[in-house]
Amino acid sequence: MKFGDVIVVLAVIALVIIIIIPIPLGALDVLLSFNISLALLILIISMYTQETLQFSIFPSILLITTLFRLALNITTTRYILSTGDAGDLIATFGDFVMQGDAIVGFIVFLIIIIVQFLVITKGSERVAEVAARFTLDAMPGKQMAIDADLNAGLIDEGEARDRRKKIQREADFYGAMDGASKFVKGDAIVGILVTIVNIIAGLVIGMMRGGLDLSSAVQKYTLLTVGDGLASQIPALLISTATGIIVTRAASEGNLGNDMLKQLFNQPKVMFIISGVLLFLGLMPLPTIPFMFLAIVFFVLGLQLRKAIKKAELEDIPVEHQESAEEKRKPENVLPLLNVDPIELEFGYGIIPLADTNQGGDLFDRLVMIRRQCALEMGIIVPMIRLRDNIQLEPNQYIIKIKGAEIGGGEIIFDHYLAMNSGIADEEIEGIDTIEPAFGLPAKWINEQEREKAEVYGYTVVDPPSIIATHLTETIKKHAYELLGRQEVKKLIDNVKEHQPALVDELIPNQLNIGDIQKVLKNLLKEGISIRNMVTILETLADYSGVTRDTDMLTEYVRQSLSRSITKQFIQNHPTRVITLDQVLEQKIIDSIQQTERGNYLSMDPDIVQSILKNLAHHIQKLTSLGEQPIIITAPIVRLYFKRLTEQLASDLIVLSYNEIDPSVEIETIGMVNA
């Protein structure tokens, strides 16, 4: 097999040469015999193939074998018309079929050709065409099923990738089979034309140049034509049959032989019915012995099948009990119970229709969009979202868990919509007062009749699946830093390494390890900063990791490198109204920074801290009353510590440094925080 690929290439080239250059009669017999052997090989492989993709080169094989037969046809035609002799194999085939009678032998040969062309070849071509069409039409549904299994946690990323690749290969295979089946059809047509040419031209040449009379010419050239046709049509018939077997085995789980035995002879009742029918036919004016013999055969077969089935049922019962008991005794049986899913969405039985595609639910599709949205906006790989139905919950209740801990939840009302006042609606609508779960805004549950009115009045109206999807999306964004593990960080780094290998090799592991990079990324996500621009983040870490290994300081350097995206994310208005810190307060914060081996922290008098927070709350209230988003601007060295200080007041307060704001942005200070 060392030079097998070279041999195959040379063999294909040789096929073309055979069409042009004559070959010896002895070699022709060998090649005709090899043609039959190759067709048998292909037929047997197709019968033992369990999946079509196991014989994925079949379309190419069809082309090569068709070319091979055409080359042999041209060669044998050359010998028949020029010398009146095409070798021992063709003469033997002709004598065997014709049995001394040219007319009967030729008619039998024509019947074989018609069966080959009209039955097997046409049927295989039609099945290949339909299989290709249905395979291509089913691709979107199969892709959605894979995405649904992936989001439900039934499969992992690797298995999903393999299944998608298999679907693509199946589509390519059936598409190629649709085209390759035309080779088989064309080969059958050429076989008929060659037969006609051989007989007519042979008669003319034999009578005009060979000096034969009409009867001798008919006998000689008909024998050679039929022998030549059989030598080529028998392999063609075998390969056409193999084509039909390959394209018709859509739902098989084993080879053809096993499937036929299992599916035809697996029901004793059917055997007994057939035996009774055959016995009845044997008692009528029909040949008695064949029908009686077959009736006995099917009756005995039915008895044997019934006996085998009962024996198998008795053997399976203790085996199943034994396996169940052994499974319970295994100590590792509890290991799956220790796994904690990163994200879980549990819901009552009333929400199940939203997750059931058979009932029109699209929750699985929405989970796919959530993962894509988080990847685009936050740059994170969201783990599999596990969906569970929980009978302990209220029918219309759902809860969201992060690493096994409940983070949030809510209730929905079917056949209702949630209407929220976006600030421009003045009219009131009828509905059930509630709180929107994702943002905590006041809202109303309204029915279908009120929906159009609410939209006209300026309310934002959403359906129940959108409520759950939005709540889940916001929860994932808020807790993204908790979901970012070392394995996820490694995937992000490997993705960068495909395009920036020098950057990654410089940084890891010489300057920082994956754990250090994870801490920096978690710091960014905790304050809502997207980590999608991994190249800039890693380049900044590579630049400053030689200055400090403190991940908090490295985070600040990275934030400054991402100033343009941070500005775009948090600053919408121009000029932007912000709150700043008094220089005295900033210096006091700097003086209160305590450095330790485990990092730096802020050590201030509690009374001073309370005074700062009280003053800050006053300015935030003033800014909020103006309809502005509260943003605090500090010196770069102070930003981190003041952010930690403000978490006692509000965890989602935006604190930026001057270096994180694009110089082109105009800032207007409306208040200054002091101690």
pLDDT at 328: 53
**Is residue 347 a contact partner of residue 397, using CB atoms and an 8 Å limit?**
yes
Q: pLDDT higher for 268 or 435?
A: 435
Q: Could you tell me the CA-to-CA distances from 157 to 139, 153, 161, 178, 313 in Å, in that order?
A: 19, 10, 6, 32, 39
pLDDT band at 100 (very low <50, low <70, confident <90, very high): low
239 in the same domain as 377: no
pLDDT tops 60 at residue 89: yes
Q: How many domains does the chain have?
A: 5
Most confident of 47-61, 94-108, 115-129: 47-61
Is there a domain that residue 337 lies in? no
**Is residue 520 a contact partner of residue 557, using CB atoms and an 8 Å limit?**
no
- For residue 79, give the H/E element and its range: helix 58-82
| Percent of the chain topping pLDDT 70 | 87
Predicted structure pTM score: 0.54
222 in the same domain as 117: yes
C-alpha span between 371 and 487 (Å, rounded) = 17
What's 668's DSSP letter? E
82 in the same domain as 196: yes
Q: pLDDT higher for 1 or 611?
A: 611
Is there a domain that residue 398 lies in? yes
pLDDT at 535: 92
Is there a domain that residue 330 lies in? no
Q: Please, which residues bridge with residue 409 across strands? A: 399
Q: Which domain holds residue 437?
A: 343-479
Last residue of a domain, which of 196, 230, 262?
A: 262
Residues 6+ apart with CB under 8 A from 455: 461
The one-letter amino acid code at 246 reads I
pLDDT at 249: 62
Q: Please, which residues bridge with residue 655 across strands? A: 632
pLDDT band at 101 (very low <50, low <70, confident <90, very high): low
183 in the same domain as 161: yes
pLDDT band at 519 (very low <50, low <70, confident <90, very high): very high
For CA atoms 378, 384, 389, 390, the dihedral sign is negative
126 in the same domain as 178: yes
C-alpha span between 185 and 113 (Å, rounded) = 12
Query: Environment class of residue 446 by beta-carbon count within 10 Å: exposed (0-12), middle (13-18) or buried (19+)?
Result: buried
500 in the same domain as 474: no
pLDDT tops 70 at residue 254: no
pLDDT at 522: 92
631 in the same domain as 506: no
Nearest to 394 by CA among 351, 361, 353, 364: 351
Last residue of a domain, which of 426, 459, 479?
A: 479
pLDDT at 251: 47
Q: What are the structure tokens assigned to 466, written together? A: 């959108």
231: phi > 0 → left, psi -120 to 50 → alpha, else beta; which?
alpha
Mean pLDDT of the 567-596 span: 85
C-alpha span between 379 and 529 (Å, rounded) = 9
423 in the same domain as 354: yes
pLDDT band at 308 (very low <50, low <70, confident <90, very high): confident
Is there a domain that residue 336 lies in? no
Is there a domain that residue 332 lies in? no
- Give the CATH number, domain containing residue 650: 3.40.50.12790
The radius of gyration of the chain's CA atoms, rounded to the nearest angstrom, is: 40
The one-letter amino acid code at 194 reads V
pLDDT at 263: 66
Mean pLDDT taken over the chain: 80
C-alpha span between 562 and 452 (Å, rounded) = 43
pLDDT at 211: 67
Lowest pLDDT segment from 476-480, 504-508, 545-549, 623-627: 623-627
C-alpha span between 409 and 395 (Å, rounded) = 13
**Is residue 643 a contact partner of residue 524, using CB atoms and an 8 Å limit?**
no
Is there a domain that residue 323 lies in? no
C-alpha span between 239 and 256 (Å, rounded) = 16
Most confident of 75-89, 265-279, 280-294, 510-524: 510-524
Mean pLDDT of the 508-525 span: 89
Lowest pLDDT segment from 48-52, 289-293, 442-446, 541-545: 48-52
Mean pLDDT of the 245-259 span: 61
Lowest pLDDT segment from 81-85, 324-328, 335-339: 324-328
132 in the same domain as 217: yes
244 in the same domain as 226: yes
551 in the same domain as 575: no
- Give the CATH number, domain containing residue 497: 1.10.8.540
Q: Please, which residues bridge with residue 459 across strands? A: 421
Mean pLDDT of the 313-335 span: 57
**Is residue 656 a contact partner of residue 632, using CB atoms and an 8 Å limit?**
yes
Mean pLDDT of the 77-92 span: 76
Is there a domain that residue 457 lies in? yes
Most confident of 49-63, 106-120, 414-428: 414-428
Last residue of a domain, which of 523, 540, 561?
A: 561
Mark 51-79 as b/e (b = at least 16 C-beta within 10 Å): ebeebeebbebbebbbbbbbbbbebbbeb
C-alpha span between 602 and 591 (Å, rounded) = 9
Nearest to 245 by CA among 404, 52, 382: 52
- The position carrying tokens 């941070």 is 566
| Percent of the chain topping pLDDT 90 | 5
537 in the same domain as 467: no
- Give the CATH number, domain containing residue 406: 3.40.30.60
Q: What are the structure tokens assigned to 187, written together? A: 């080969």
C-alpha span between 234 and 527 (Å, rounded) = 75
pLDDT at 43: 82
Is there a domain that residue 48 lies in? yes
pLDDT tops 70 at residue 259: no
User: What are the pLDDT digits (tens) for 181-240?
Assistant: 677 677 777 777 777 777 777 777 777 766 677 777 777 777 777 777 777 777 877 777
CA 381, 387, 391: angle at the middle one, nearest 5?
155
Alpha helices (H) along 152-267: 157-208, 214-248, 256-264
User: What are the pLDDT digits (tens) for 631-667?
Assistant: 899 988 888 888 888 888 887 888 999 888 888 888 8
